[in-house]
Chains A and B, each alone.
Chain A
């Protein structure tokens, strides 16, 4: 007889059948099943194929240890790869399939790889990179191995389309968060509630109880059967208004500040879900323990199952996993398993004793017989004395390891405990985080309850147990003695990646003695199961191969998430339009209506150009440039960073911040300035306007506003706390429109008829308060285009009205691309284009901005460093391509020859490059070594294999005398 549902029993609801499909086959399970238990009940023995050799793989576990039953769930855009069948509640209509196996998991053509074992041994990937290995085949990796591996490999299929599910994120803050609602977790939660704490309790299963769910033979707790006690405790906790208790929730991360990340599956299926961000003063990790499979030849054959899985199949799911069983344990906790096998009428054909071992298994796709041999005086199996017993089930246990993943990823340490036969927590990690129960190596029910309850002095007593208790006493390493190298090649350590004991031995012989090296060389523990069953076995095999103690070898490190979490869940609602914050100016709707194409500047959306219907970018930008050069244009400058600087020491403060003098600035005037970092490099630039003796209005770049304010606050608060000066961001208090061009004054006159715009009454680099378009406005006479220009600022909420009025007065809207062309024609720098954190104002030709007459300013000392004054620095120049139709690539390298030969000396790079309709040619700004001494030189701009001849020149291409400012 093979796997099938028992006539009665189990925690399933036989009145509620559930239909699902596996690889397209229609199957039926019951409410209360996991996908894995339903597959087992339907006698599905092969649930997938291994990664390298495509060997058939069956269910090893029914819990979180599972390395094999990791499935694709759903189809099309709904598909979700790499879901653990053992932890996925069965749901109506669910379509699941293996992640590997073509054309199917039962008849996988990739299985031929298994017949040719040598090439896929440890380090295969690395060795095949080295060179030709097959006679007559050159470039074997690219031509043979990689295509072959790609066709056969795979870790599940990606969804075909945008995820249709909606995921949520929620935040909760509690006194005590408990991970796991097994006996220890329930006791911990009840104890905390008894102290008056607010508690959150998270259980990954669909039921509370942990080990009580699939196990018999534990003592009674408070005079109830263990499972009845667990359900009662859960009900009491869930009813408590100070508690949040959730099933189907998996804690996958534990971060600084005692922050837990928990993924909650919805009740009706495997899709969507919610991430909980949990803050707690105290965290109890009661995550249980992982059962370890024994490592022996043939241990990967479907039908070899963990003892706890066999017991859970019978007790919890009412499934009979086989008819004839061999039992192979390395500890004394087998009574419950034997009772369960008897109850399910499964014959125990053999029990492998302490002086015996398993030397092999047989069966095609499912277990048919098991070889058992006695151990000789050398500790190795006597192959001559082995016997073969028929069996379709092998229940194996190599003991238990505490589930330490959450402890370890938050900085906790572990150490080998000879007494416990496992690695246990050994300090480290955050204050206020503790392990409890089996996760703390308290394997018996009574010890787990007491550990979970904790020592609450004066508190209520913990749960009382009565009756015998069982724990895996005397468990050793889960590595069976194996006689020959041939057998070691059949003893699997990593079921998903086909890593065997022989592979670890080979890695050790080739010098990979450290666990992290051996892991990466063999890929043991690197699969989607995250090596839960492979970790300890790898260390045990490495210890045996190198003659060391396992405690000296240790286990490989872990990183969150400790279990796969869908990307959609991590992203939550932060997708599409909500992916990142977007800042818009008050004129944004107007830009949209004008056909603006936007670009991102920091978080801002800025209009790059306005395309008329059918108009491409280049003609649109040329048209906008012509408008500014020949008539008048309007640019939305609301995004400029603006900082109010006020206080009796405001002038002194700004004098220390800018390279030029700001204390001499008259009220009503404004001045361009650059800020340096203290290394002498240009950091930001803008215009400073003096509003009053103690008040200034400072503008910054659009993208740098926040960084500049943070940095100014740094100096104000940490370096010069004696200065009486205060700063405030007013970026979003003022909306602005730049009006520029020979007709700018005429346009402004129409908007502000009472304002005297003569050069004497309102000269360049001054500001005036006025009424413009009926709005209270502050108008700066500044220019970033070289044309006569005004920047009209009004309160933010009036930005749209101002924009409408400026356009109604005849200005043509222009975007940031035209702004860049116009400023580059004038040789004006843009921070981030012409600067990159390594450029001084001297490099930029801005020496005139550096005051020699004032005291210290930020960056002054560094400018005098020899390195910043030595020859060979890159300096700002203009470039004219010899072919006037060429627009150079930004980032092109400047070299001295058209035919470079590595290592060709790099003389500089193109910083900004545009087509100029005013000049009717392409032009560029560049940073070139000793550039100011190279004016007239012929160099080459090289990009993507093409070198263009260029002539070096002064960076001011247009109106070098500045006459147009007063046009």
Chain B
């Protein structure tokens, strides 16, 4: 089971978190986005082998959405930031 260091709550087991997918996906501007760009944003995700930047919600804790660096091969957890800080 993964251990994820929440910046608020400390190191916590995976069962306290909800997975939120690829954190690098950006929502295009709906006024200008092409149909293809919008479809890619909604439906298309990479399935990388190796480093992955992904969202996790600390659902049984502080309710922060976190941006977590995780290696999909080794499952090693790298940097963990609050999504709010990463987004702004």
| Chain A positions near chain B (C-beta within 8 angstroms) | 255-257, 259, 279, 411, 430-431, 678-679, 706, 709-710, 713-714, 717-719, 721-722, 856, 860-862, 865-866
Contact = CB atoms under 8 A, between A and B. Distances in A.
Contacts of A678: 27, 41-42
A191 to B, nearest CB: 25
B57 A718 contact: no
Interface in B63-88: 63-65, 73-76, 82-84, 86-88
Contact of A411 (B20, B27, B74): B74
B38 A719 contact: no
Given A256-B1, A257-B3, A721-B88, A714 B38 contact: no
Contacts of A256: 1-3, 14, 75
Given A710-B59, A721-B87, 6 more contacts: A256-B2, A257-B13, A713-B65, A722-B88, A856-B31, A861-B30
Nearest to A678: B42
Contact of B57 (A259, A679, A714, A861): A714
A714 B20 contact: yes
Given A256-B2, A861-B38, A714 B74 contact: no
Contacts of A721: 83-84, 87-88
B interface secondary structure, majority: mixed
A865 B30 CA distance: 12
B88 A862 contact: no
B59 A706 contact: yes
A865 to B, nearest CB: 7
Contact of A718 (B3, B43, B55, B63): B55
B84 A257 contact: no
9 contacts: A256-B14, A257-B13, A257-B14, A430-B74, A714-B65, A717-B84, A718-B84, A721-B83, A865-B35
A932 to B, nearest CB: 26
A778 B74 CA distance: 53
A718 B2 contact: no
B38 A865 contact: yes
Interface residues of B, number: 34
Considering the complex of A and B, which 10 residue pairs feature the smallest CB-CB distances, nearest first? Answer: A861-B30, A257-B3, A718-B83, A717-B65, A256-B75, A721-B84, A717-B84, A721-B88, A679-B42, A721-B87
Contacts of A714: 20, 55, 57, 65
Contacts of B83: 717-718, 721
Given A257-B13, A678-B42, A706-B59, A717 B64 contact: yes
Contacts of A259: 1
Contacts of A713: 57, 63, 65
B42 A862 contact: yes
B33 interface: yes
A458 B13 CA distance: 35
A862 B38 contact: yes
A582 B24 CA distance: 37
Interface in B44-71: 55, 57, 59, 63-65
Nearest to B82: A717
A839 to B, nearest CB: 16
A664 B76 CA distance: 48
A117 to B, nearest CB: 45
B26 to A, nearest CB: 9
B28 to A, nearest CB: 8
Nearest to A431: B76
B9 interface: no
Nearest to B65: A717
Interface of B: 1-3, 13-14, 18, 20, 23, 27, 30-31, 33, 35, 38-39, 41-43, 55, 57, 59, 63-65, 73-76, 82-84, 86-88
A70 B79 CA distance: 47
A954 to B, nearest CB: 32
Nearest to A429: B74
A718 B66 CA distance: 9
B47 to A, nearest CB: 18
A717 B13 contact: no
A257 B88 contact: no
B25 to A, nearest CB: 10
A175 to B, nearest CB: 15
A722 B88 CA distance: 8
Nearest to B73: A411
Nearest to A279: B3
Contacts of B63: 709, 713
Nearest to A410: B75
A719 B63 CA distance: 16
Contacts of B84: 717-718, 721
A709 B63 CA distance: 9
Nearest to A707: B18
A570 B88 CA distance: 45
Contacts of A257: 1-3, 13-14, 75
A279 B11 CA distance: 12
Most chain A beta-carbon neighbours within 10 Å: one of B27, B30, B76, B84: B30
A718 B87 contact: yes
Contact of A710 (B23, B41, B57): B57
Nearest to B39: A865
A430 B59 CA distance: 26
A710 B83 CA distance: 13
B72 to A, nearest CB: 11
Nearest to A861: B30
Nearest to A259: B1
Most chain A beta-carbon neighbours within 10 Å: one of B39, B41, B42: B42
B14 to A, nearest CB: 8
Nearest to A428: B74
Contacts of B38: 861-862, 865
Contacts of A430: 74-76
A861 B36 CA distance: 12
Contacts of A710: 18, 57, 59
A256 B63 CA distance: 23
B30 A856 contact: yes
Contacts of B73: 411
A706 B57 CA distance: 12
A575 B26 CA distance: 44
Most chain A beta-carbon neighbours within 10 Å: one of B1, B33, B55: B1
Contacts of B82: 717
B87 A717 contact: yes
B87 A719 contact: yes
A722 B86 CA distance: 12
B57 A255 contact: no
